Amino acid sequence: MASGFFALLDDIGVLMDDVASMSKIATKKTAGILGDDLAVNAEKASGFVSSREIPVLWAITKGSFINKLIILPIAFLLSAFLPVVVTIILLLGAIYLAFEGAEKIYEWIFPHESPEATIAAPELTEEEILALEKDKIKSAIVTDFILSVEIVIIALSSVVEEPILNQILVVSVVAIIATIGVYGIVAGIVRMDDLGVRLIKLSDGKKSISKFIGTFLVNALPWIIKSLSVIGTIALLLVAGGIFLHNIHMIEELLHALPSIIAEFITGLAVGIVSLAVFKLFKFLFFQKKVGV
């Protein structure tokens, strides 16, 4: 009995070691999309009055956990009974990621204003502010759902040939790390300017280290969000390109002479441009048909 117990402990230890190793690999593969997830959520969690930033972020975080509770069982069932569907979803998700990356580049080259109501606008009533807040939370949770699907599927694709128990443990670990890590960092980012203001107030208008650091934090916040957006866009194209290269051998053979990071970026950008062009064409044709009617 004792030997059986210790053998069981040894098996559990080996399993946990395997899970830890595979989790590291899966986390690395999802790192690119996590960068975009961070940028998107930092942008969506900002723009609220200071007292509402953390409650709003907590609401989005809870929505993210619910998203993953919905996605994970479906992903595991597909992996167990229809593994080919995981690859199809992975490729469809890669097209979406490439499209999103190309669309961001298009908007940088051809900027257009998208007027949005400011949540802290003084002319709005409390009910209107709460309604806008709820809308923004819903929008953030929907975006999180799409990104969560990709995170889960990419993580799952890295262990799809492993036993189902390993898949469940690895992907669940990655999903938890992704949620806590991303929203923990976002919380720090959105509160950065408040910390800066407090440090400035401590200086009482005099030149001091606290005033210098506070001013730096306040001024750095918009630049950090912008830089995250740029890094996230590049990451989107790299992740999408990597998915196509690893799953479509014809593309891999065509670009095998190039360094992997360049091949992934070129592939992601090409897929993004094509998908964006198709989307713009359908949108144009639909608009023309609507106008004609």
Please say whether the beta carbons of 66 and 78 come within 8 A: no
Please say whether the beta carbons of 182 and 43 come within 8 A: no
Each domain of the chain, given as residue ranges in start order, spans 2-292
Query: Can you tell me the distance from the alpha carbon of 39 to that of 41, in angstroms, rounded to the nearest whole number?
Result: 6
Mean pLDDT by 10 residues, the chain (293 residues): 40 44 52 60 61 79 91 89 85 87 90 53 64 80 81 80 82 86 80 80 76 84 79 82 87 88 93 95 80 56
Query: Can you tell me the distance from the alpha carbon of 213 to that of 119, in angstroms, rounded to the nearest whole number?
Result: 28
Maximum CA extent, the chain: 81
Query: Can you tell me the distance from the alpha carbon of 58 to that of 63, in angstroms, rounded to the nearest whole number?
Result: 9
The pLDDT score that the predictor gives to residue 281 is: 93
The pLDDT score that the predictor gives to residue 6 is: 35
Please say whether the beta carbons of 63 and 140 come within 8 A: yes
Under DSSP, the state recorded for 110 is S
The pLDDT score that the predictor gives to residue 105 is: 92
